[in-house]
Each structure stands twice: as structure tokens, then as C-alpha cells.
């Protein structure tokens, strides 16, 4: 009986995502400006491209776009990570993928919490890129021990958030009143605190070791460090940003501009320098500043199959061997040219991408297919050739490690390049998380397979009905 009154996990996530967006717009007004700009560019893009609009409507994804965003947080301890997993599970968000950022000079490893089923993604695709600090990559042992002790002391979840998460786990859901409380309580974890947990001296030592360590260890909680709306034309938003008094980062991360967007392209505006205060020895507060929070936009393209992803990684690597984008933008044009040149080897029509087995597609029966009586079961390619089945790209829902590193770097200050020995440790991450991360490729392959089966079934049903 009680079950009927539960709010669905998808609805809890949608409510949480909306609440987070309002909070962040309040905290970082430039994010609100960016949202307006993205809404305008998306409306213009749809008005100018009838086919795009029609396909987004047909695949039920038009509505989610204006609601769509991701955020990012950086956690300090395994206990925080595993509790965060339980909190996100209440909202129907599960860890997908493992990202090792150590190779890029950032002492974290990460996953993305996100909805997984097709229906859940359509309802609300809110995701959170979640990183765990790796103190094991810090050379200074004294500092490591001190940072660890500071992190162990803090409590990033309110008692209410923990209690409601446990209740949801026990009962299998939350009712409306509990959902409202849950959203409000969990939001507290993501809130900005301008009063640091540490002294100015400690902050400086952490900061000297790595800016990211200072960002994680010095504060009461893992403030949301950016929120990212999804745009349908990232080049246009990037070009318009200065007009809206937002300074974009030097280059767009990810693949170059193409007719058929693949994976994910991202750009951001620089983190703000914000006033904070540090603890004094005599119990007072000492003014200072900290740079952490920024805004980002993304354009999502087709999810690539392992073969396509291999090609993407190779071409990106090739272009970076020719030009590595500098943080100050001094070689941005050369980088873009090298990237575009390298990607000439990546087919740029949906039909070619499909035929080469590079990407994942969702298949559906066409109008003609619905009116055709089939004499028997046929293979997919011939059904497509005869115009009975059509295909649309499946949207990439995940992240890219090289791009993520670029986003981290551009917001850590350009002098912050630091080398670590590459040391991916997915086993350790999963032990800390308290669960295995899901494999992104399995997920897309599953959606594709289900769509093919449903087409063949519909067309065979037409045969059986004769
Ligand atoms: C996360 C950076 C990664 C993305 O979109 O690739 C990211 C961070 O700065 O904490 O959000
Ligand atoms: Ni991001």
C-alpha cells in the first residue's frame, strides 16, 4: 500500500537537478547568463534545422535538452564516496565508467553518477562527475598525514540526508514529503562555504602541493564546482560568450566541428576568484581568496562503439602530437587546424559511421515499414536499404578523460601543470566506492540491441498477422 505513495527515483532526480540549478545560479550569476545564452542558441539552431528538430522530437529527446545538465564534485575520503553512491542511488543515479586523471597531472580518479535506462535518461539525464582525491600521489608524507586527518574530521552529509537515505534503502523509496526534505538536505552537501576549515598557512601548504588538494581539503564540503547545460551548437555559444561578458577557455575540448557530432565537445569559462576566510589561531577569521567554481557547456554527439572510440583516441592523440593546446590560447588556431586535419579520417555521415561499425544507433520502423506487409523475416541492412527501418544516433551520456583533464587544468590556473606517474587503480576506486562501476559500452550496446529486436518483432508481427 505504502509503495503507491513513493515518488519515483527519476522524479526525485529531476527535482534535485532543478534545485541544484537554482542554487548555483544564485551562487554564480555567470552560470545564469550562460543558461540564457544556451537557451537562445538552442532555439536558433532548432529554427534553422528542421530535420534536427524532427529527429529529436521523434526520438523523444527534444524536451530533455533544455533540462539537461551535468555537475562535478571532488570528494576527500572513501567513506564520503561510498555514502555519495548511496545518496545518488535514491535518485536513480549509478556509477558508470572509471576515469584516471593522474596521467594528466590531476591527483584524482573519478566516475560519473547518472541514470542508466533509456526511459530514465529521457525523463531527466542529470549526471555528476565525481572525483576522489588521491593523497597517495602526494610526495610530502607529513602533509599527506595532516590532510588525511582534516578530511576524517569533516561531515559532508547532514544527519537528515543520512537518515532519509537509510529510510529509502529500507522502505524501497520516499514519499512526497520525505522527497522534499531529502532534496533540501542533500543540497546542503553541494553548497558553497566561504569559511574554510583550515588556517591560511595550512591552505597555502595544501595549495603549494596542488591547487586541487587545497580545494578538496580546505572546505566543509564538496561544493558543486560547475554545472553544464547542453547546447546544440557549441561553436556558436563559444563565439557569443564574450558578447555576454563571459571569457571562454582557449579551445573546445574533444572532437572538432563536424556534420555528425561524435561523443562530447566541451568548453568552459574560467573559475572565479572568490572571497573566503581562514581560521585564525585565536578563533577569529582571516580574509583570503580561493578559485574553484566555473561554468561549462557541452554538445553531445553519438556514442561510439569500441572500434569508433579507438579511432577517436588515435586521431586525438595524433593531433596532440602536432600541437598541444596552450592554456593562454596562443596556439588555438593551429590546434584547431591540426585537430580538423587529423579527423578527416573519421567518416562524417551517419550511414558511413553505421556501416563501418563505429557508433551505436537506435533503430525504428518507418512509416513505409508500418504499411508494408513483409513476406518473411529479413536482415537489418536490407530493411534499411528498402526504407522500412531507419536509424538515429544514440547520444553519448558519459565523459572523456582527456577533455576532463583539460577542463580541470583550465580551472586550476595555467601554471599548475604537474606530472604524476600514470597509476590507474580501478580496483581501489571500486573498493572505496563499495560497488563496481558499470561499463558504458554494454549500456549502449543494450539499447541498440533492444531497438533492433523491437523493429524485427514489429515487422514479423505484420507477417504473422497475415
Ligand atoms: C571535473 C572536471 C571534469 C567534465 O565535464 O569533463 C568534468 C572537475 O573539475 O571536478 O566535469
Ligand atoms: Ni564538466
Any idea what the Cα angle at residue 421 is, between residues 418 and 426, rounded to 5°?
A: 115
403 within ligand 1 shell (Cβ under 6 A): yes
Regarding the beta carbon of 399 and ligand 1, being less than 6 Å apart is answered yes
Q: Is residue 338 part of a domain?
A: no
Angle, vertex CA 123, rays to CA 121 and CA 126, nearest 5: 60
217 contacts: CB under 8 Å, gap ≥ 6: 76, 133, 147, 150, 151, 197, 198, 206
pTM attached to this predicted model: 0.94
Which set of grid coordinates corresponds to residue 336? 584547431
pLDDT of residue 44: 94
**225 lies in a domain?**
yes
pLDDT, tens digit, for every residue of 410-437? 777 655 456 666 678 999 999 999 999 9
CB 256, CB 336: distance < 8 Å: yes
Number of domains in the chain: 1
Which residue lies with its CA nearest to atom 6 of ligand 1?
404
C-alpha span between 285 and 291 (Å, rounded): 18
pLDDT tens profile 23-61: 999 998 889 999 999 999 999 999 999 998 998 888 877
Q: Do 63 and 124 contact (CB within 8 A), yes or no?
A: no
Distance in angstroms (rounded) separating the CA atoms of residues 107 and 206: 13
Probe target for ligand 1 pocket from 75, 129, 397, 405, with the most ligand atoms within 8 Å of CB: 129
Query: Three cell numbers at 139?
Result: 610526495
For residues 137 and 150, the answer to whether their CB atoms sit within 8 Å is no
The enclosing domain of 80 has a CATH number of: 3.10.180.80
Is the pLDDT at 3 greater than 90? The verdict is no
> What would the grid cell of residue 4 be?
503507491
Domain that holds residue 26: 3-299+399-435
Predicted local distance difference test score (pLDDT) of residue 411 = 75
Give domain status of residue 349, yes or no: no
The reply to whether ligand 1 has any atom less than 6 angstroms from the CB of 266 is yes
C-alpha of 293 from chain center:
16
Judge whether 77 lies within some domain: yes
390 domain-assigned? no
Cβ 270 vs Cβ 247: under 8 Å? yes
Q: Report whether pLDDT(462) > 80.
A: no
Amino acid at each position: 500500500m505504502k509503495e503507491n505513495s513513493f515518488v519515483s527515483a527519476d522524479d526525485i532526480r529531476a527535482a534535485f537537478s532543478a534545485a541544484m540549478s537554482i542554487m548555483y545560479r544564485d551562487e554564480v550569476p555567470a552560470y545564469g547568463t550562460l543558461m540564457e545564452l544556451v537557451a537562445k542558441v538552442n532555439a536558433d539552431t532548432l529554427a534553422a534545422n528542421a530535420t534536427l528538430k524532427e529527429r529529436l522530437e521523434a526520438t523523444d529527446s527534444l524536451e530533455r535538452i533544455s533540462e539537461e545538465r551535468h555537475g562535478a564534485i571532488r570528494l576527500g575520503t572513501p567513506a564520503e564516496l561510498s555514502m555519495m553512491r548511496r545518496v545518488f542511488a535514491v535518485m536513480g543515479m549509478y556509477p558508470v565508467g572509471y576515469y584516471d586523471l593522474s596521467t594528466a597531472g590531476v591527483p584524482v580518479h573519478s566516475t560519473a553518477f547518472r541514470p542508466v535506462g533509456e526511459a530514465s535518461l529521457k525523463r531527466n539525464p542529470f549526471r555528476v562527475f565525481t572525483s576522489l582525491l588521491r593523497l597517495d600521489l602526494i610526495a610530502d608524507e607529513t602533509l599527506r598525514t595532516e590532510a588525511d586527518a582534516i578530511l576524517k574530521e569533516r561531515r559532508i552529509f547532514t544527519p537528515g540526508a543520512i537518515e532519509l537515505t537509510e529510510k529509502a534503502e529500507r522502505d524501497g523509496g520516499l514519499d512526497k514529503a520525505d522527497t522534499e526534505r531529502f532534496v533540501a538536505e542533500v543540497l546542503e552537501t553541494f553548497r558553497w562555504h566561504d569559511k574554510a576549515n583550515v588556517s591560511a598557512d595550512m591552505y597555502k601548504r595544501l595549495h603549494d602541493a596542488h591547487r586541487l588538494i587545497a580545494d578538496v581539503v580546505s572546505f566543509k564540503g564538496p561544493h558543486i564546482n560547475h554545472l553544464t547545460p547542453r547546447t546544440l551548437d557549441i561553436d556558436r555559444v563559444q563565439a557569443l560568450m564574450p558578447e555576454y561578458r563571459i571569457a571562454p577557455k582557449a579551445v573546445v575540448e574533444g572532437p572538432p566541428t563536424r556534420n555528425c557530432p561524435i561523443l562530447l565537445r566541451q568548453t568552459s569559462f574560467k573559475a572565479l576568484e572568490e572571497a573566503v576566510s581562514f581560521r585564525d589561531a585565536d578563533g577569529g577569521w582571516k580574509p583570503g581568496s580561493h578559485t574553484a567554481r566555473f561554468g561549462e557547456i557541452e554538445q553531445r554527439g553519438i556514442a561510439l562503439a569500441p572500434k569508433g572510440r579507438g579511432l577517436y583516441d588515435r586521431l586525438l592523440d595524433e593531433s596532440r602530437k602536432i600541437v598541444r593546446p596552450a592554456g593562454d590560447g596562443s596556439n588555438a588556431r593551429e590546434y584547431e587546424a591540426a585537430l580538423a586535419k587529423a579527423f578527416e579520417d573519421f567518416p562524417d555521415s551517419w550511414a558511413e559511421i553505421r556501416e563501418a561499425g563505429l557508433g551505436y544507433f537506435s533503430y525504428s520502423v518507418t512509416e513505409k515499414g508500418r504499411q508494408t506487409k513483409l513476406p518473411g523475416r529479413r536482415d537489418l541492412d536490407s530493411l534499411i536499404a528498402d526504407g522500412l527501418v531507419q536509424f538515429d544516433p544514440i547520444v553519448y551520456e558519459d565523459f572523456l578523460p582527456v577533455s576532463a583533464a583539460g577542463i580541470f587544468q583550465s580551472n586550476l590556473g595555467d601554471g599548475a601543470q604537474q606530472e604524476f606517474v600514470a597509476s590507474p587503480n580501478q580496483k581501489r576506486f571500486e573498493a572505496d566506492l563499495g560497488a563496481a562501476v558499470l561499463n558504458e559500452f554494454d549500456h549502449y550496446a543494450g539499447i541498440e540491441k533492444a531497438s533492433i529486436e523491437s523493429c524485427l518483432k514489429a515487422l514479423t508481427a505484420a507477417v504473422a498477422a497475415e
